Amino acid sequence: MKVLFITIGTFRNINASGIYTDLLRMFQQKGHEVFVISSSERREEKKTQIYSDSGVQILRVKTGNITKVAFWEKGISTLLIGKQFLSAYNKYFEKQKFDLILYSTPPITIAPMIKKIKQKSKAFTYLMLKDIFPQNAIDLEILTQKGIKGIAYLYFRYMEKMLYKVSDRIGCMSPQNIKYVLAHNPEINKEKVGLCPNTIDLLEIEPVCKHDISERYRIPKNKLWIIYGGNFGRPQNVEFIVKLLKKYKNHQTLHFIMCGSGTEFYKIKAESEKNQNVTYIQYQPHDKYIELLKACDIGLVFLDERFTIPNFPSRIMDYMNCELPILACTDSNTDLGQILEKGKCGWWVCGNDIDGFMNKLSDIEKKQKNNNSYLNEKGKNARELLKREYLTEIAYKTILQSSNE
């Protein structure tokens, strides 16, 4: 079977670790021929290029900047990317006849492209729904349903519905995502919407020397290490994170590690420079990041409490792989907290509740003092949940079964 995967992600190396690379490697290992169309953002200063990586044909298309930029720039780039991808497809892949077209959101503006390729190849189309746009922009008050921004909203909503219509199957990250999509798009046949969670390969767990990690990043040794790894932008409510970190400025037993990048990382960096209990670490290569996670005690998830869409951040995959229990500070519409608590591998508090967060963390710390294995047990449960629900083979079998029906 010939498989075409379309993503705005920076897709360079099929052997890198990640939810999409792991999935595509499995397709290849099972005997399928894999092709990829991905973006090469303007900041990279590279022309559109095609190359083979371990037998996978990767077409990297020069586009505007999409990640880690202001919303207006991201919006313009998103508007253009569908046509840019289609033009590159016509030049490099037009003679290929695909059996399966896989794609994820964002962006929704590839809908016309998917429709054209589907008609040409008679392919099965599978949407991995990772982002519900434009509603997420409405939630964060980036877009409105009135005025000029309202026109943009209507256009993006039209594109969203077109993408759902052209997709033979829609794979959602969690049960709550399925409910949301069907409730807000009643025209969709519920039989075409199902569960396809974020998945990842299981990593070998090798112990790391906490002393070495401490020396490398200048992190105090004799404290619990609490890490957030990922994007720092509007969806994470960085203002709330900064307020929270200030509360722990003089704490004696906890230390926060903020690792990542994004449009608002500078706020975190500025706080780390005047807060002895915060270490800011810029984006790390995946192997170094995994080493850091293995030395930590708790993984954090932050999402703005205003979200009405049920997000399910993929960063928890690495946490679970590294046996980290997870404290999620999110909106109340996601089922992430329920899943963590049911799996006995984490805790949930509302995304705007500083007192609730501090009380929960205080309770966790007390339980750890009374039982030295408390966090370790939670972490082992996290990895067991990963094995049961979030391994790459689960997504592979789900997609393959759908395409064969």
pLDDT digits (tens, 9 = 90+) for 80-127: 999 999 999 999 999 999 999 999 998 999 999 999 999 999 999 999
Burial of 100 (0-12, 13-18, 19+ CB in 10 A): buried
The domain in which residue 90 lies consists of 2-199+391-404
Residues 218 and 184 in one domain: no
To 10 degrees, what angle do helices 238-247 and 354-370 make? 50
Domain CATH for 215? 3.40.50.2000
Given the DSSP bridges, would you call strands 326-330 and 346-350 parallel, antiparallel or unpaired?
A: parallel
Residues 46 and 166 in one domain: yes
Q: How far is CA 175 from CA 178, 291, 310, 314, in A?
A: 5, 32, 9, 15
Would you say residue 386 has pLDDT above 90?
Answer: yes
Task: Give the pLDDT score at 12.
Answer: 82
d(CA 143, CA 323): 38
d(CA 131, CA 389): 20
Would you say residue 71 has pLDDT above 80?
Answer: no
Confidence band for 44, pLDDT divided at 50, 70 and 90 = confident
Please state the pTM of the whole predicted model.
0.93
Stretch 170-182: mean pLDDT: 97
Stretch 290-299: mean pLDDT: 96
Confidence band for 404, pLDDT divided at 50, 70 and 90 = confident
Would you say residue 9 has pLDDT above 90?
Answer: no
Going by C-alpha positions, the residue among 382, 396, 401 that lies closest to residue 339 is 382
Would you say residue 303 has pLDDT above 80?
Answer: yes
Task: Give the pLDDT score at 321.
Answer: 96
Stretch 31-40: mean pLDDT: 95
Would you say residue 70 has pLDDT above 80?
Answer: no
Task: Give the pLDDT score at 77.
Answer: 87
Task: Give the pLDDT score at 205.
Answer: 81
d(CA 143, CA 229): 27
Stretch 380-388: mean pLDDT: 97
Residues 168 and 299 in one domain: no
Three-state SS for 61?
strand
Q: How many domains does the chain have?
A: 2
Residues 157 and 263 in one domain: no
Task: Identify which of 205-214, 263-272, 378-387 has the greatest average pLDDT.
Answer: 378-387
Would you say residue 10 has pLDDT above 90?
Answer: no
Residues 99 and 166 in one domain: yes
d(CA 358, CA 341): 18
Residues 178 and 218 in one domain: no
Residues 306 and 161 in one domain: no
Helices (H), 227-328: 238-247, 265-272, 286-295, 316-321
Going by C-alpha positions, the residue among 350, 347, 377, 352 that lies closest to residue 363 is 347
Spatial contact of 104 and 128, defined as CB atoms under 8 Å apart = yes
Residues 184 and 317 in one domain: no
d(CA 199, CA 27): 14
Residues 223 and 327 in one domain: yes
Spatial contact of 262 and 232, defined as CB atoms under 8 Å apart = yes
Task: Give the pLDDT score at 328.
Answer: 97
Confidence band for 75, pLDDT divided at 50, 70 and 90 = confident
pLDDT in tens, 344-375: 999 999 988 999 999 999 999 999 999 999 99
d(CA 169, CA 160): 14
Residue 204 domain-assigned (yes or no): no
Residues 220 and 90 in one domain: no
